[in-house]
Amino acid sequence: MQERYEPAAVEAQAQQYWDQQRCFEAKEDSGRDKYYCLSMFPYPSGRLHMGHVRNYTIGDVLTRFMRMNGRNVLQPMGWDAFGLPAENAAMANGVPPAKWTFDNIAYMKAQLKSLGFALDWSRELTTCRPEYYRWNQWLFLRMLEMGIAYQKTGVVNWDPVDKTVLANEQVIDGRGWRTNALVEKREIPMYYLKITDYAEDLLETLSHMQGWPERVRAMQANWIGKSVGVRLGFPYEIEGLDIAGLGLAAGGGPGSGAAGPDAIAKGVLHAFTTRVDTLMGVTFCAVAAEHPLATHAARDNPKLAAFIEECKRGPAVEAEQATQEKKGMPTGLVVRHPLSHEAVPVWVGNYVLMSYGEGAVMGVPAHDERDFEFAKKYHLPIKPVIEVPGREYSTHAWSPRYADHGRCVNSGVYDGLEFQAAVDAIAADLGALGLGEKQTTWRLRDWGISRQRYWGCPIPVIHCATCGTVPVPEEQLPVVLPVNLVPDGSGNPLLKDAAFLAVPCPRCGAAARRETDTMDTFVDSSWYFLRFACADNNRSMLDSRVQYWLPVDQYIGGIEHAILHLLYSRFWTRVLHELGALKFKEPFANLFTQGMVLNEVFFRKPDAGRVEYFNPADVEVTLDATAQRRVAVLRADGLEVESGGIVTMSKSKNNGVDPQALVDEFGADTARLFTMFAAPPEQTLEWSDEGVQGAYRFIKRLWKAVHEHVMRGAPAPLDKSALNESQRAMRRQSHQTLAKITDDIGRRRTFNTAIAAAMELLNALAKFPQAQPQDRSVTQEALEIAVLGLSPIIPHVTHALWHHLGHATALIDEPWPPVDAEALQTSTVEIVVQVNGKLRARLSVAADADEGTLRAAALADPNVQKFVGANPVRKVIVVRGKLVSIVV
């Protein structure tokens, strides 16, 4: 055995062995318990970043651990390969997105291999390949048939200079990111998926998903946003209102009927409320700027029209919406209170959203903070109708308590009713009048999947002048995206690709035009975890192997996907369940969200000009002469740079660490060990060059310990019955360590403490004598436990050390070692003695000592005596094997 640890050679050899033996190719085996461990697949951006390394190491540790514990494991990998960055790179370099993407995939695949992840590459999938995305198209056609996919007009950001649609993140302060032109809103037809039909089920199931973090479940519940309330109507009769022309739904109220322009139209203004118990406190109604009644009122009112335009434009930044000042303007229209029949003025309010509920609210200034603010500003009446005991109502200033539930007052027949009783009674009375019913409203919107982009999955429809929009027949799938186009910044290049565009209408055969919109890339990632079970199937989307491998036993990824990706995946799984393709509705049994990787950020801010960021690898940090202050200096020019604190690694802050440099210098095992040791996996991880050194040092010490042991020659077999006290203690620690590592990886997922335990074992072993033959046998066992226990985390070096410890077979096929219960047994234990809650003594006592013995031993201790003194002992609490607590 070589004395020096040389990671490059060790790692190449281990990886070559795994490759040749095809160790990680998973086979279905109904006789064995499967374990499907999946890490979120990467976007092929060019190179791996530390976030990938952390994510995939967590998955790899679990995969290898479960494999050793007898599970039939599957850990696949693929590429989320469609998307905007490829188009941007194409524009910058004049290379087709396909080439850029496949080059990146080749490079990153080599990186993943160099990190030694136990991935089944035979199932690799790439979403930009027609073998994959044809099934996006296939399922989209099924969704059209099922009515889940539908067409609707949507609003997009339009860059008038580039003549292209911009994604939200390409709009900066209302301007195009490339052209700096003012972005316009354009209405175009788009496809939507009816995820809202599944809102109730998606929300309800969350509460049973014990394998998901509470945080993620809360975020999804928030996002779905269920509100239970009442949809109620305020009847009106308005002169000259064109109900049909304004798209107002006629009917719903008593005496409503069709009316043409200039007639008196009867209608109902609908509003949604969760507080119908405050109905008798309504003093106005407010509608959104886009509301048809507002449009009507603005026809002959230029001031109102101008105000509505102002509201529609809104603040550039969305976060400002919530804080902007409330503004409004009366429409001059009046509706009737549904129960009191009083006249209620209708206002346009900038705080009313057209996209939520009915686009109109009933104004109850006494019990809603926003309505209160609005009423104060425009001097509208404030009528308190809810009484909370111990609270005086004042109309001068708002108190959050005014929104509390309470008892109705000033509300006629409802006086005295508590919240729920009031809601029930008022809803029943509204229902009898046909002016209201209980309703549930959702924050969740249907999922718009159309993107006016080239590098995505084509939406399989054809536009025919006579037949309209016609779905592509199934036998014509896939609609293949041309891969040789280069976007030039002037819109979707598919629009100029005659070969792609021209197609006969499937219905009438006449010349027609292909849809050029592509699908949101979230579509690609909404079902890839299913496809890994049957990636080679070219006849159907899924097959019976899915039933064996799915649901995913452990899904691992970043918290940034807590909402969209995970919610869309749950939705797609439900659709496939409905189609009969799946027997389950939830795709991920257990979810693990790993923390971000942080690093210090260094910068200089010239008096004029932009802040310049410097990569930490190019910065030297030292202590100044007084050792009080850290000084950061750029190596290139020797001048100082400022530290901006420790933040998430990102391109924009230039504080990323290149995993490749790390692997090249220290090896994959050090990279893996550091990322697993520096913090618990769900917490943020702070980068530390010294910490990496520490990880490297530990592996070297492990190597050295095995080397020194091996150089002493083969040890005698372990004879458990012939051990002395120190040998038994060493063995005990070995098996305690094994038990801890098993529990920490298998149950707690605290890899950092598992590693700490292994370090302790090695520290103890360094002090353990090697004089007698059985010392060496105990050492052999301890080293084997350390090597096997650490093998999921540092698989390469342990692969080599296992051979050096005298084993002919490979570690990868070794089962997880069992804990020897006999080794854990001990004859004496240390107990602590407290006097009035303070630690006063530690005693070594027989492990099976009874309460009386412990009590007597504790009281006899001189230091305990000193603190008890002459005081009478009031109480003695004895916890066997742990402590004695004396109260005086």
DSSP state of 718: P
**d(C-alpha 98, C-alpha 82), whole Å:** 9
**d(C-alpha 183, C-alpha 663), whole Å:** 45
By CB under 7 A, the residues from 778 to 797 that bind RNA are: none
The amino acid that residue 765 corresponds to is L
Candidate residues 72, 137, 273, 737; the one interacting with RNA per rule CB under 7 A = 273
Provide, rounded to whole angstroms, the least separation between the CB of residue 634 and RNA.
21
Q: Does 686 bind RNA (CB under 7 A)?
A: yes
**d(C-alpha 691, C-alpha 696), whole Å:** 9
Six-digit token pair at 168?
């939200």
Which residue lies nearer to RNA by CB, 417 or 761? 761
Give strand pairing partners of 238: 265
Provide, rounded to whole angstroms, the least separation between the CB of residue 236 and RNA.
19
Candidate residues 32, 152, 163, 215; the one interacting with RNA per rule CB under 7 A = 215
Six-digit token pair at 441?
């409203």
Six-digit token pair at 829?
């234990």
Q: Does 765 bind RNA (CB under 7 A)?
A: no
By CB under 7 A, the residues from 703 to 722 that bind RNA are: 704
Rounded to 5°, the CA angle 5-6-12 comes to 130
- DSSP per residue, 463-485: EETTTEEEEPPGGG---PPPSS-
How many residues sit in the footprint of RNA (CB under 7 A)? 95
> Segment contacting RNA (CB under 7 A): 539-547, 555-563, 650-658, 798-806?
555-563
Candidate residues 27, 94, 168, 325; the one interacting with RNA per rule CB under 7 A = 325
Candidate residues 358, 600, 669, 781; the one interacting with RNA per rule CB under 7 A = 358
Q: Does 684 bind RNA (CB under 7 A)?
A: yes
Q: Does 229 bind RNA (CB under 7 A)?
A: yes
Q: Does 234 bind RNA (CB under 7 A)?
A: no
Q: Does 810 bind RNA (CB under 7 A)?
A: no
Candidate residues 355, 626, 628, 721; the one interacting with RNA per rule CB under 7 A = 355
Candidate residues 302, 389, 606, 837; the one interacting with RNA per rule CB under 7 A = 837
Candidate residues 16, 21, 93, 324; the one interacting with RNA per rule CB under 7 A = 324
**d(C-alpha 854, C-alpha 846), whole Å:** 9
Which residue lies nearer to RNA by CB, 425 or 579? 425
Provide, rounded to whole angstroms, the least separation between the CB of residue 330 and RNA.
17
Sequence-ordered list of residues with C-beta below 8 angstroms from that of 496, at least 6 positions apart, any chain: none
Contact 256, 311 (CB under 8 A): no
Contact 439, 356 (CB under 8 A): no
- DSSP per residue, 263-292: SEEEEEEEEEES-GGGGGG--EEEE-TTSH
Candidate residues 760, 770, 824, 853; the one interacting with RNA per rule CB under 7 A = 760
**d(C-alpha 518, C-alpha 511), whole Å:** 21
By CB under 7 A, the residues from 373 to 432 that bind RNA are: 400
Q: Does 880 bind RNA (CB under 7 A)?
A: no
Which residue lies nearer to RNA by CB, 331 or 350? 350
Q: Does 836 bind RNA (CB under 7 A)?
A: yes
The helix (run of H) or strand (run of E) holding residue 633 is: strand 630-634
Which residue lies nearer to RNA by CB, 163 or 313? 313
Q: Does 106 bind RNA (CB under 7 A)?
A: no
Candidate residues 252, 489, 680, 746; the one interacting with RNA per rule CB under 7 A = 680
By CB under 7 A, the residues from 840 to 859 that bind RNA are: 840, 842
Q: Does 766 bind RNA (CB under 7 A)?
A: yes
Which residue lies nearer to RNA by CB, 85 or 691? 691
Burial track 84-120 (b if 16+ CB lie within 10 A, e otherwise) = bbbbbbbbeeeebbbbbbbebbeebbebbebbbbbbb
**d(C-alpha 867, C-alpha 884), whole Å:** 14
The amino acid that residue 573 corresponds to is T
Candidate residues 82, 198, 272, 571; the one interacting with RNA per rule CB under 7 A = 272
Q: Does 683 bind RNA (CB under 7 A)?
A: yes
Candidate residues 49, 64, 275, 453; the one interacting with RNA per rule CB under 7 A = 275
Q: Does 697 bind RNA (CB under 7 A)?
A: yes
Q: Does 13 bind RNA (CB under 7 A)?
A: no
Candidate residues 554, 590, 675, 885; the one interacting with RNA per rule CB under 7 A = 885
Which residue lies nearer to RNA by CB, 261 or 315? 315
Candidate residues 47, 99, 370, 732; the one interacting with RNA per rule CB under 7 A = 370
Candidate residues 394, 863, 865, 871; the one interacting with RNA per rule CB under 7 A = 863
Provide, rounded to whole angstroms, the least separation between the CB of residue 527 and RNA.
23
Which residue lies nearer to RNA by CB, 144 or 829? 829
Which residue lies nearer to RNA by CB, 350 or 774? 350
> Segment contacting RNA (CB under 7 A): 135-143, 172-180, 322-330, 504-512?
322-330
Phi-psi region of 869 (alpha: psi -120 to 50; beta: other; left: phi over 0): left
Looking at 595-629, which runs of residues are DSSP E strands? 597-604, 612-614, 619-623
Provide, rounded to whole angstroms, the least separation between the CB of residue 465 and RNA.
39
By CB under 7 A, the residues from 566 to 605 that bind RNA are: none
Q: Does 155 bind RNA (CB under 7 A)?
A: no
- DSSP per residue, 794-851: SHHHHHHHHHHTT-SS-GGGPPPPPP-HHHH--SEEEEEEEETTEEEEEEEEETT--H
Sequence-ordered list of residues with C-beta below 8 angstroms from that of 19, at least 6 positions apart, any chain: none
Q: Does 755 bind RNA (CB under 7 A)?
A: yes
Six-digit token pair at 735?
């098996």
By CB under 7 A, the residues from 614 to 653 that bind RNA are: 627
Provide, rounded to whole angstroms, the least separation between the CB of residue 430 and RNA.
14
Q: Does 882 bind RNA (CB under 7 A)?
A: yes
Task: Please name which of 225, 258, 262 lies closest in space to residue 244, comparing C-alpha atoms.
Answer: 258
Q: Does 737 bind RNA (CB under 7 A)?
A: no
Q: Does 225 bind RNA (CB under 7 A)?
A: yes
> Segment contacting RNA (CB under 7 A): 221-229, 423-431, 533-541, 653-661?
221-229
880 burial (CB, 10 Å; 0-12 / 13-18 / 19+) is middle
By CB under 7 A, the residues from 28 to 67 that bind RNA are: none
Task: Please name which of 114, 119, 108 lies closest in space to residue 15, comparing C-alpha atoms.
Answer: 114
Q: Does 357 bind RNA (CB under 7 A)?
A: yes
Q: Does 341 bind RNA (CB under 7 A)?
A: no
Candidate residues 301, 469, 750, 772; the one interacting with RNA per rule CB under 7 A = 750
> Segment contacting RNA (CB under 7 A): 245-253, 529-537, 738-746, 819-827?
738-746
Q: Does 214 bind RNA (CB under 7 A)?
A: yes
Candidate residues 1, 23, 305, 559; the one interacting with RNA per rule CB under 7 A = 559
Q: Does 832 bind RNA (CB under 7 A)?
A: yes
Provide, rounded to whole angstroms, the least separation between the CB of residue 165 and RNA.
22
Q: How far is CA 620 from CA 572, 617, 627, 847, in A?
A: 50, 8, 15, 55
**d(C-alpha 569, C-alpha 576), whole Å:** 11
Contact 448, 234 (CB under 8 A): no
- DSSP per residue, 303-356: HHHHHHHHHHH--SSHHHHTTSPP-EEEEEEEEE-TTT--EEEEEEETT--TTS
Proportion of the chain in helix, strand, coil states, percent, rounded to 5: 40, 25, 40
Contact 1, 804 (CB under 8 A): yes
